[in-house]
Amino acid sequence: MFISNCTLNKVIKHHGVNSLDKKNEKLIINKTNSNDIEKLLGPPSTKGAFSDDLWIYIERKTSSSKLLKLGHKVLLVNNVLIVEINNKGILSNKVFLDKNKMNNIEFSSEITKMNYTKRSFIYNFLNSMRQKINDPTGKKRN
């Protein structure tokens, strides 16, 4: 009964536009207009932060890894298409990025140490501010 509920097929989770790499080839610079782009790819995943003439389309597919890796996600496809449209509504530039063009960023594992002691300027300043907040007139001094 338990084994009948399991499946050996991979479950692939898809996010974004299907077959973005193939649809990218149908876009022709200085010929395709914004209506053709929306008809082919749909509305953009996001638009540019400073200009609405920059459209970004995303395709991402992930799958669960094998049992030995305890179900961690494996990135199968990660495509990004950046489309730039001129003021007449015609495609002026396009950039296609895939999984192989991704940058691997290594983060430092070092920990920043706090550099203040009881005799430091910061400690003295905060201590005097605490005293002024607790006793603004200075009458409670021992």
40 occurs within a structural domain: yes
Cα separation, 113 vs 111, whole angstroms: 6
Sign of the dihedral through C-alpha 132, 133, 134, 139: positive
Q: What is the pLDDT of residues 69-120, one digit of tens each?
A: 666 788 888 899 999 999 999 999 999 988 887 777 777 788 777 665 566 7
In the block, which residue shows the tokens 């459209």?
Answer: 55
Write down the pLDDT at residue 4.
Answer: 54
In the block, which residue shows the tokens 């970004």?
Answer: 56
How many structural domains compose the chain? 1
pTM as predicted:
0.63
34 occurs within a structural domain: yes
48 occurs within a structural domain: yes
State the residue range of the domain holding 20: 3-101
91 occurs within a structural domain: yes
* C-alpha radius of gyration, the chain, whole number: 28
Joined tokens for residue 87: 């003021």
3-state SS, 12-56, equals: EEEEECCCHHHHHHCCCCCCCEHHHHHHHHCCCCEECCCCCCEEE
Write down the pLDDT at residue 38.
Answer: 92
Partners of 94 in the β-ladder:
83
